[in-house]
Amino acid sequence: MPNYNAVGIILAAGQSSRMGSPKGLLEWRGTTLLEYQMNSLLQGGCDKVVVVTGKYDAEMAPLLKDRPGIIRAYNPKYLEGKTTSIKAGIWELPDDIHSIVLLAVDQPRPAWVIEKVLRLHTDLGADVTSPGFDGHGGHPLVFDAQFRADLMNITEESEGVRAIFRKTDIHHHRVKFDSAIVRLDINTPEAYENALASYTELAKSKL
């Protein structure tokens, strides 16, 4: 596997209020959703993965213990919005990295999706890279490490990372996908059931 000198950040600090239970602990393809995401990021080219916890830190902690390449970052401000979790993840990043891969725990992605977006980001020397399907943007988002300071300064009021995308001089590359896999989001029990039924087909590599 190529060395992209990248670190992934999984946002797993939320309350999962619409789901009714911790999304990261949902059963997913023989493991938990959180562990699946960690494995995908590592297999997709990330050297380390920072998992940002919050409401369910105690429940998730055993899954993160003694895991090579996994960094646990507790966000005490998780009630103040997603931007606080992004900042908590950025704070834990090593200094000498090239790329930052941002992904929420409820956005399951197979390793090949991570690898494709990360590879094109690196090959093209883009500032920001994101996947797209059918004219709409998706996840994960990949940022050049030079945007670390910008990511530390995002706010809920400025719509988080969208403030970076709005910069006029930014080189944003969108990678086109032929699968809605890059748009999948699991927020409710219904969405979870639908994702369980459709994921095998969605996640097939179309490289």
Q: Which domain holds residue 172?
A: 6-202
Q: Which positions of the chain have pLDDT values less than 70?
A: 1, 206-207
CA distances from 3 to 6, 100, 123, 127, 168 (A): 8, 13, 12, 18, 30
Query: Rounded distance, CA 67 to CA 71, Å?
Result: 8
Query: Rounded distance, CA 80 to CA 164, Å?
Result: 20
Is 190 part of a structural domain of the chain?
yes
Nearest CA among 93, 107, 94 for reference residue 11: 107
Query: Rounded distance, CA 102 to CA 76, Å?
Result: 19
What one-letter code names the amino acid at 147? F
Is 84 part of a structural domain of the chain?
yes
Query: In which element (H, E) is residue 6 found?
Result: strand 6-12
| DSSP string across 153-201 | T--TTTTTTHHHHT-TT--EEEEE-SSGGGG----SHHHHHHHHHHHHH
Query: Rounded distance, CA 55 to CA 63, Å?
Result: 15
Is 207 part of a structural domain of the chain?
no
> What's the CATH number where 28 sits?
3.90.550.10
Residue 144 sits at φ, ψ, to 5 deg, of -65, 145
Is 1 part of a structural domain of the chain?
no
Q: What pLDDT, on a 0 to 100 scale, did the predictor assign at position 187?
A: 93
Specify the 3-state DSSP secondary structure of 92: coil
Nearest CA among 192, 102, 189 for reference residue 148: 102
Q: What pLDDT, on a 0 to 100 scale, did the predictor assign at position 206?
A: 60
Q: What pLDDT, on a 0 to 100 scale, did the predictor assign at position 207?
A: 52
Is 59 part of a structural domain of the chain?
yes
Is 15 part of a structural domain of the chain?
yes
Q: How many domains does the chain have?
A: 1
Identify whether the C-beta of residue 172 lies closer than 8 Å to the C-beta of residue 129.
yes
Token pair, residue 89, equals 């993840």
Is 63 part of a structural domain of the chain?
yes
